[in-house]
Amino acid sequence: MMEERKIIHVDMDAFFAAVEQRDKPELRGKPVAVGFDGERGVVSTASYEARKFGVHSAQSIQVAKRLCPQLMIVLPDFHHYKAVSEQVHRIFLDYTDLIEPVSIDEAFLDVTHNKKGMPLAVDIAEDIRRRIREELHLTASAGVSYNKFLAKIASDYRKPDGLFVIHPDKAMAFVSRLRVEKFWGVGPKTAVRMHSMGIFTGEQLREVSKHHLITVFGKVGAVYYDFARGIDPRPVETEYIRKSVGCEQTFTQDISLKSAVLIELYHTVLELVGRLKRSEFIGKTLTLKVKYADFTQITRSLTAHKPLKTKADILPLAKKLLAEVEYSGSHPIRLMGLSVSNPHTEDELVRHPEWIEGSLPFED
């Protein structure tokens, strides 16, 4: 019989805003948004005081200020946030080496065999939260269960500054009541699709066959099938594997002239090439993202037969993707982004050693 895993998901509460409030006493207890206070600024993180007014991440700063006129806006300091994140990570390392960072402010920990010899994962989670509070003067929420899916759901259940455990004996009942919108990997569009199928809860999702879910949602349908049964075999992966590199730019003014759009596309390509070089990423799928003035957005992608690394590789493909995008004076572009994804496999790199950095150098 396999040993039952003990997984913790730790999620820092309103991380960027909380760091700013910790370091700047004048911000404590006030509604705070981290972002650029400009016409095109976007909220990166909102404090819980601001969230009470409807302010949230990815929201326009201008909208946020209308919702909360007393909102205090702080420019982000990502280098500082990264340094604080590393302090949190060092606390994790006192308990286990099996740590999978999800982002700068959250991570999974496998504490099945932990350094402290503590038998209960809930005690480890509480001790981690205590140390973050006492040593860093920040709060974190944590979820505990036997797999990553349930631990992630649990960490969201009592935010902020909360701890929740989903015990194996109660997992099926918990998932049965869970709204599908809360399932990891179910976004707004997928939720609408599920609702149209009469699926609103985990129990209703469990009634749909795996074959039908795969027919409707593709490969991820099999994941939904497992999640509805409390199954998630994915291990906590300590080695971070980059899956894409990208960049995007929100323009100070909406653009619609073809010449202006092409100029911005060119600059975006140069920025992307620089990021690919710095990250030593090798991928073959290029994606163009366009957001319009009305905040609707589209993406267009294509996959090349060789690595996308240089301006010569990327610019012609970017222009080809742009040709598929409609825009005009009445439907101008607010934001443009490019990313390279679909990293090459080890087998491909063995067959094509010239693709490896050093054999085929990046070009500006």
Beta strands 297-303; 333-343: pairing state: unpaired
pLDDT of residue 123: 98
pLDDT of residue 359: 31
* In the chain, where the domains are located: 170-227, 244-355
Task: Let me know: does 44 contact 57? Beta carbons within 8 Å.
Answer: yes
| Banded pLDDT at 279 (limits 50, 70, 90) | confident
pLDDT of residue 349: 36
Mean pLDDT of 244-248: 90
Residues 90, 82: Cα–Cα separation, whole Å:
12
Mean pLDDT of 252-260: 92
Q: Which of 110-114, 226-230, 302-306 has the lowest mean pLDDT?
A: 302-306
Q: Which of 18-22, 99-103, 351-355 has the lowest mean pLDDT?
A: 351-355
* Residue 3 or 260, more confident: 260
Mean pLDDT of 251-262: 93
pLDDT of 357 strictly over 50: no
Mean pLDDT of 156-183: 95
pLDDT of 278 strictly over 90: no
- A 10 A CB-CB count for 66 gives 13
pLDDT of 155 strictly over 80: yes
Residues tagged active-site: 106
pLDDT of residue 344: 55
Task: Let me know: does 95 contact 125? Beta carbons within 8 Å.
Answer: no
pLDDT of residue 128: 98
Do the domains 244-355 and 170-227 match in fold?
A: no
* Residue 112 or 281, more confident: 112
pLDDT of residue 16: 96
- Residues 298-349 have pLDDT tens digits of 999 999 888 898 999 999 999 999 999 999 999 999 999 999 988 754 444 3
CA atoms within 13 A on the CB side of 285: 10
Architecture of the domain defined by 170-227: Orthogonal Bundle (1.10)
Cis status of the peptide bond prior to 160, with omega within 30 of 0: yes
Mean pLDDT of 105-118: 95
Mean pLDDT of 157-161: 92
- Residues 48-105 have pLDDT tens digits of 999 999 999 989 999 999 999 999 999 999 999 999 999 999 999 999 999 999 889 9
| Banded pLDDT at 280 (limits 50, 70, 90) | confident
Architecture of the domain defined by 244-355: 2-Layer Sandwich (3.30)
pLDDT of 289 strictly over 70: yes
pLDDT of residue 281: 86
pLDDT of 107 strictly over 90: yes
pLDDT of 2 strictly over 80: no
